[in-house]
Structure 1
Amino acid sequence: MLWPLEADNISRGIIERFRFSTIAEVHIGAIGDWLNVPKELFQCSITRVFPGGSSGVRKTKGNPVSLTNQKEEIAEVLFHLFLTASVKTWILAVMIVGFPGLWGCNGLPAETARGVEGVPREEQQPPSTEPNRALLGEARPEGLSHLASLAGTEQVGTDPAPGEVGLVSSPEPGWPQWRGKRRDGISEETGLLSHWPAAGPRLLWSISNLGRGWASPIVVNDRIYVPGDIDRDLVLFAFDTSGKLLWQAKNGEAWLGSYPGCRASCVYSEGFLYHCNAHGRVVCLDATSGRELWAINMLELFEGREITWGISECLLVDGEQLFITPAGRKGLMASLDKKTGKVLWVTPPIAADDFVSHSSPILFRWGGRRIITNCSAAYGFGVDADTGELLWAVPVRNQFDTNVSTPIFGDGRVFYVTPYTHLGRQYRLVFHDGKVRAEQVWTHPVDTVTGSGILVNGTLWIGGYRRPKWWFAIDWQTGQTLAETKQLTTGAAIYADGRLYVLDETGKVALIDPSHNRFDIVGEFQLPVGKVRDAWAHPVICDGRLYLRHHQSLWCYDIRRSE
């Protein structure tokens, strides 16, 4: 059988290590018929990636495939084909490897050749979109043939147009959304403990009976908002900062599928509370009373689909807009009027076989634009926040269609993590002919899932999930590992007042001094949860308090430095 990537781990391992010099997309369905190979193995696009391109592999029905890594291993692949292939297969192999000119390539070396990942050179133009026409238009053609996702000699490294550069902060006080005011896990609070006592910081209070779930709380205007799945309902709770229950309201059904429990955190804006449940129900509540004001199901509206482990998107609000990522047949991303739920603009889908995953968006300014970046099941992408125009898309698909970790932005660069395949990859934003594109800079073996990284002073602090199931400090410019520790397993971190606060999946809480690009642990304690492997909620800091959640329970610790 030719290209047995899903069934044959040996072949997959070899092909995952390819890298060549130019890029061309080859549609080979007809060749599959000629070779008498099952159609499901050939109803796809093979993306050939050579040095100067990007890496990754994916081979399933209807999905683009990238063949990556060192060209010296061509011989190894040919040897494997010799063991498994027919005469016709050999003919095809010779055509692909030996005659790149047939595919519009320039041959193997060409170290300076740059192109668009998965895009023939004659098609390297940004997509023509009409994003302001809500719910109009058909799904775009499969693959990346209409996108310019990488660039060559364009201006890089600095903002190419006047204006501010950096993450856009919520105007609300406290910790009003997922990962804080800028969605980067960084708090500006000071006056916090630099070391913890042996037993950890002082516990102020705790709450139980929140229901199952991994959603972190948000804290704003002396109110705490946190969801949980109770029986068959998703319940949103509002507490005051002493832990007293103020109200509770429902947002549709609980997630009773694989890994039952609520996923997404709430977001607060101008007296309104927004939340998306695991089935795609988006609700707007009055934050004072919990009264429901409007609701939609984004999967139904944009012809999306439910996914194996439930939607986890923590919604993003900016000004009058509420952003959602349904990744359906009628829209990749959409902007809603936050007061009414009316659709303002829609970004057309990238590919017909793409769908929603688990990632949550961030918003930043660069190149005179306000840009949202997020991940679907197949792509890491950027969208103009004011118009919905699709700016770039890079492949981030794995065999489970899972992208969970929130993207990270800094110094004109974006970082995505796709476990099992692409792993951690950083892209430099470039500006050319009025268009923004993404050019891959480096790859790191970190395979983050439930956590997200913290970018502080040029160092990315981030934990692995499966293979490197420990923590790394990574140089943001080069991708080189500066330090690592196995004292903590996979988990989530936030940063405040010169310290990292880490909650790993076993319930271990650590205070880390990162000032010397080392994991210097200066305090730790264990949550009273017994032996667990799913303490996946992210920590929260607000007004000198550390909030930690594990399913039914929420703990509030005093981390203020005494006078």
Structure 2
Amino acid sequence: MTTVSFRFRRMAWARVLIVGLLCPSALRADDWPQWRGANRDGVWSEGGILEAFPAGGLEGRWSVPVGVGVSSPVVVQGGVYVTDAELVRSKARERVHCFEEATGKPRWSYAYDVNYPDWALESFDKGFLGPVATPIVRDGKVYALGFLGHLCCLDAAKGDVLWRKDLPKAYPAKELHCHASPLIEGDLLIVFVGAKPAATLIAFDRNTGQEVWKALDESATSSSPIMITAGGGRQLIVWTQESVTSLDPATGKTHWRQRLLTSADYVVSTPVCHKDLLLLGGLMMKLDPDKPAASVLWPATRAASRRILSHTSTALFRGDHLYSAKSFGELVCIEASTGKQVWETDKVTEVRNGASIHLTANGHCVFLYNERGELIRAQLTPEGYQELGRVALLEPTYAFGGRKVAWAPPAYANRRVFVRSDKELICASLAAQP
């Protein structure tokens, strides 16, 4: 049983917004094993995808009930893995599920009790609780991080517990922030939880659960860290509440640090890297080619509002330009080398607080999934936004700002799209007609 006195009210709005790794040889090219896909970059390389949405909507493969959570589903070797929370009046359980990819038939579930505060249980239907971090699957094992810091490694085929950690007990702290999705680098499982002292990031041996290193003494955000290759080696990039920092993934030693204070405590957008450019929200860094170092490319100002494009959405590089939602849902095209805005459109979603757009590149087109549960296929070029089709996939269920929203990011695998709310997990076909 996990008991933690976090500052739930302060964290509640952020957990529903969440919702660079090596691509392991054991995975099929069309699997989606972790946050933002095989390479953690929002790119789906699979071919044979439809060129236009059917007039009657996508062919529904299956739908299964799930509980509260905004973690993304992941898809590996015929299994769909998703985390959620189930409320049984006066108590709650967090769960990890595995479903058959082709049919939605349950394979297994792993559950554990958690102690959510009374006020949160009373507001459970508002989507304030449940796992936020997206699980990751590697070498027949699934790793999942719960909302209260329950970290587990399970057998991906059977759901058997291989090891587990109660992070609040192992790393006492006034507040943990278990929203960022874990990543794997070699034999290390790295989590970003903001434990103190000096345990903002913790690396575990992914086979045994033993701590290998811990690093930094800064507060965590909801931004999932990435791995990049630059400056002659691998760098772990993390965006905390105080900085963007590069670390040696083998030791946790800091390579470089750029102070970056945001206009809000919690940011969701993930760092993105393209060639020698590294984008953190609205801050562009230029990576040194010869050593692990970086410098600010743009903007010149240190004003927080100028250094954040969106707290809820992650940008996408396409050639010499990047595309990103702004904080209220406008989609913009920006010249990557200068930060100059090329165009802006309000056609993707309603312009208002809490808007989100998840962008996934697929060939010459991009799939955009918004907080209204709509999937859009479009061409994004410096010349403008060209919408090719739009379909409603999911009924939004999370209450926010007087409306219902769908913030959990989708997964794409085997010519299918997988989306979830706090009520159901849906699989629909994106396969081109023969």
Q: TM-score, with normalisation over the residues of structure 2?
A: 0.82
Q: Deviations over 1:260-312 (max 9, x none)?
A: 232111100111110111222211111111111211233443444435xx521
Q: Which ranges in structure 2 are unaligned for 5 or more consecutive residues? A: 1-19, 121-126, 300-305, 350-354, 398-402
Is 1:521–2:390 an aligned residue pair?
no
Matches within 5 A, 1:195-214: 195-208=52-65, 210-214=66-70
Q: Which amino acid aligns with 2:221?
A: S
1:113-166 Cα offsets, whole Å, 9 max, x none, are xxxxxxxxxxxxxxxxxxxxxxxxxxxxxxxxxxxxxxxxxxxxxxxxxxxxx8
Q: Structure 1 residues 341 and 445 mapped into 2: Cα distance closer, same or farther (>3 Å)?
A: closer
Structure-1 residue corresponding to 2:152: 283
Amino acid at match of 1:458: D
* Matching residue's letter, 1:306: E
Once residues 192 and 416 of structure 1 are traced to their aligned partners in structure 2, the CA distance between those partners, rounded to angstroms, is 31
Q: Does the 8 Å contact 2:394/2:421 carry over to 1?
A: no
Select the residue among 377, 382, 385 that pairs with 2:249: 385
Query: Structure 1: which amino acid aligns with 2:423?
Result: Q
Q: Is residue 332 from structure 1 mapped to residue 200 from structure 2 by the alignment?
A: yes
2:113 maps to 1:248: no
Q: Secondary structure of the residue that 1:273 maps to in structure 2? A: strand
Of stretches 454-463 and 523-532 in structure 1, the one that deviates more from structure 2 is 523-532
- Shift of the alpha carbon at 1:332? 2.8
Residue 315 of structure 1: how far off its partner (Å): 0.6
- Please state how far the C-alpha of 1:384 moved relative to its aligned partner: 1.0
Using CA pairs below 8 Å that are at least 6 residues apart, which structure has the higher relative contact order?
2
* Cα deviation 1:80-109 (Å, max 9, x = unaligned): xxxxxxxxxxxxxxxxxxxxxxxxxxxxxx
Aligned counterparts, 1:421-432, within 5 A: 424-430=282-288
Task: Specify which structure has the higher proportion of helix.
Answer: 1
- Kindly provide the amino acid, as one letter, of the partner of residue 212 in structure 2: L
Give 1:517 shift: 4.5
Pairing partner for 2:334 from 441, 451, 474: 474
- Equivalent residue number for residue 220 of structure 1: 76
Task: Verify the 8 A CA contact 1:501 1:539 in the aligned structure 2.
Answer: no
Alignment of 1:90-239 (within 5 A): 168-171=22-25, 172-173=27-28, 174-208=31-65, 210-231=66-87, 232-239=92-99
Q: CA deviation at 1:167?
A: 6.0
Q: What residue number does 1:267 align with?
A: 136
Q: Distance in 1 between matches of 2:396 and 2:286?
A: 43
Q: Which residue identity does 2:219 align to in structure 1?
A: F
Relative distance call for 1:430 and 1:415 in structure 2 (3 A) is: same
- 2:307 corresponds to 1:438: no
Amino acid at match of 1:292: V
**Bigger fraction of residues in strand:** 2
Change (3 A) 1:278 1:205: same
- Amino acid paired to 1:462: S
Query: Structure 1 residues 386 and 252, CA, compared in 2 at 3 Å: closer, same or farther?
Result: farther
Q: Does structure 2 conserve the Cα–Cα contact (< 8 Å) formed by 1:255 and 1:262?
A: no
Whether the aligned pair in 2 keeps the contact of 1:304 and 1:326 (CA below 8 Å) is no
1:243 deviates by 0.5
Choose 442-451 or 287-296, whichever is displaced more. 442-451
In the alignment, which residue of structure 1 is the partner of 2:411?
540
Q: Structure 2: how far apart are the matches of 1:254 and 1:502?
A: 36
Q: Shift of residue 346 of structure 1?
A: 2.4
Give distance in 2, aligned partners of 1:227 and 1:530.
Answer: 18
Write the distance in 2 (CA, Å) between the matches of 1:178 and 1:264. Answer: 8
Alpha carbons 2:69, 2:85 under 8 Å: kept? yes
Is residue 554 from structure 1 mapped to residue 425 from structure 2 by the alignment? yes
Residue identity over aligned pairs, in percent, reads 24
**Maintained 8 Å contact 1:267/1:274:** yes
Matches of 1:431 and 1:404, distance apart in 2: 28
Match of 2:235?
371
Structure 2 residue corresponding to 1:301, chosen from 165, 170, 186: 170
Aligned length: 381
Q: Distance in 1 between matches of 2:189 and 2:330?
A: 35
Q: Verify the 8 A CA contact 1:247 1:289 in the aligned structure 2.
A: yes
Which stretch of the first structure deviates more once superposed, 217-226 or 548-557? Answer: 548-557
Q: Does the 8 A contact of 1:234 with 1:254 survive in 2?
A: no
Name the structure 1 match of 2:374.
508
Inter-partner Cα distance in structure 1 for 2:202 and 2:57: 44
DSSP-derived class of the 2:288 partner: strand
